[in-house]
Structure 1
Amino acid sequence: MTPRYRDRAVYLPSPDVLVVADLHLGRDAVSNVEVRVGEHEDVTDRFAGLCERFKPNEVVVAGDLLHSFGSLPRGVRETLRELKTSARGVGARVVVTPGNHDAMLETVWDGPMPAEHAVGDWVVCHGHEPPETDAAGYIVGHDHPAIQIEGQRRPCYLSAESIYDGADLLMLPAFTALAPGVTVNGMRTRDFQSPLVTDADALRPVVRDEAGDETLRFPPLGEFRRLL
């Protein structure tokens, strides 16, 4: 079935799995600002809303659950407790596939954390390294894609068929609203950090307009650039 795009996440109706990527918990605390910018409330409220909406059997985090490499900022454990409570409230188990920022993951996470996790025909992983598991498609994060339209930058998904060893690819935007996103409009294959991107021109941006309850699909980047 077609993936459902919602609020920087994706829901797979079959096998009933919600996937998020790049929460970067603790980014708020280590930001160079005098006033905290509401990371905890934003992430936990939106995560709870997605769990209530879809009531998945499983929630998979596609890497970079944490932000800091060598420390755990104040508030991270509390945020994790609330995320687990929201998932348990709808009967979902949570799986974390570690990303390159998750060096401290084992100190705060006691649930499953495989490098790659199969969900139906898809394999979920962070996307910073080539996957070892064969799959029809891969769901990743890592690059924090965003697209600029009429001067406004919006987080976006990127999808392509048969782009990595014959497999499809779906790249998610960062779930944290504190990540501004990397504008992909003019990016070439070499500009992406994920080795799963082998042809940037084939990537189709998808933007979710939550206010209008609308999913906007754009031409592949190779064509989209010519339209700008």
Structure 2
Amino acid sequence: MSDPFRSDGPRIEPVPGEPAATATVGTERALLIADYHAGYEAGLRDDRGVDVPSHAPERRERLCSLLERTDPNRLVVCGDLMHSIGEPGGAERGELEVLFDSFPSTLDVTVVKGNHDGLIETWLTADDDFEHETGSTGSVTVVPGDGIALGDNDVGICHGHTWPAPSVLECDVICLGHEHPCVRLEDDIGGRRIERTWLRGRFDPTPFRDRPEYEEISWLEQGGDSSPRVVVVPAFNDLVGGTWMNLPGQSFLSPFLPAGLASAEAYLLDGTRLGPYESV
């Protein structure tokens, strides 16, 4: 799949067939994922009484295969690395410890806190304990959910459940998760299937203009092609469901979507362009 944003700015390149993308930021290559939701099956059992076998090994193998395939310097998680909203439980923490132990030992990891990530920073970045448990020598950084700017305002990363930090909105491209975007496709004989999608377009300045924290951001007055490009990343976890982009009455989860989209198109994971998400 080629980069749909033909510009001289930062390059965000979706990995064909996968809910992940690479980003070249300065001299660093990053792999971007969102909504891993480690421990999801335990959450279903505890919260809803639904017994689903753990898919933790499959998730881990898919991510480790992607790391081997793309060879990044850094893994960036756009929120919801874990599933429980409070402190991670035994199964969830165990899944993440095995996951991190499977990473290349020098891999740096940046986690933007999602609404499900609770108290993840209380143990994920506790250097002595975590490095002892996983053997990792790469850095592990947890940042607030309003996000972080990578490079020289090249790529902004946030989760999407809260308004982005001003530094994120000043970036050329903004990547977020939280929505788990997907479409429901139907064939001529009534067959239906759900497909995860990328959602890509440009921001509309309208919902951001009245917020005082953004008053110094120049593109809010200009709009149009001066607005940042936006990429809504599909959920890495294929069990979690999501927002159906193409069904009437579906509400977005983010406080700034869909009002914050001047335009956006949906793409399947294999690169198929579906066109404007509202008319798929």
TM-score normalised by length of structure 1? 0.85
Counterpart in 2 of 1:100?
115
2:212 equivalent to 1:152: no
Judging changes above 3 Å, is the alpha-carbon distance between structure 1 residues 163 and 57 closer, same or farther for their aligned structure 2 residues? farther
Displacement, 1:136?
Answer: 1.3
Deviates more, 1:199-208 or 1:103-112: 199-208
Describe the superposition over 1:66-86 as per-residue Cα deviations: whole angstroms up to 9, x where unpaired: 211234233222221233233
Counterpart in 2 of 1:74?
90
Judging changes above 3 Å, is the alpha-carbon distance between structure 1 residues 137 and 163 closer, same or farther for their aligned structure 2 residues? farther
Counterpart in 2 of 1:24?
37
Report the AA paired with residue 178 of structure 1. L
Displacement, 1:201?
Answer: 7.4
2:173 equivalent to 1:143: no
Judging changes above 3 Å, is the alpha-carbon distance between structure 1 residues 108 and 25 closer, same or farther for their aligned structure 2 residues? farther
Report the AA paired with residue 24 of structure 1. H
2-structure distance, mates of 1:96, 1:34 = 29
Deviates more, 1:28-37 or 1:51-60: 28-37
**Aligned residue among 237, 242, 246 for 1:185:** 246
Counterpart in 2 of 1:54?
70
2:233 equivalent to 1:172: yes
Report the AA paired with residue 22 of structure 2. Y
Counterpart in 2 of 1:8?
19
Aligned length: 217
Q: Percent identity?
A: 27
Report the AA paired with residue 253 of structure 2. Q
Does structure 2 conserve the Cα–Cα contact (< 8 Å) formed by 1:20 and 1:62? yes
Secondary structure class of the residue paired with 1:72: coil
Counterpart in 1 of 2:124?
109
- Which runs of 4 or more aligned residues in structure 1 lie more than 4 Å from their structure 2 counterparts after TM superposition? none
Does structure 1 conserve the Cα–Cα contact (< 8 Å) formed by 2:180 and 2:242? yes
TM-score normalised by length of structure 2? 0.70
Displacement, 1:118?
Answer: 2.3
Does structure 1 conserve the Cα–Cα contact (< 8 Å) formed by 2:202 and 2:262? no
The RMSD of aligned alpha carbons is 2.3
Deviates more, 1:9-18 or 1:50-59: 9-18
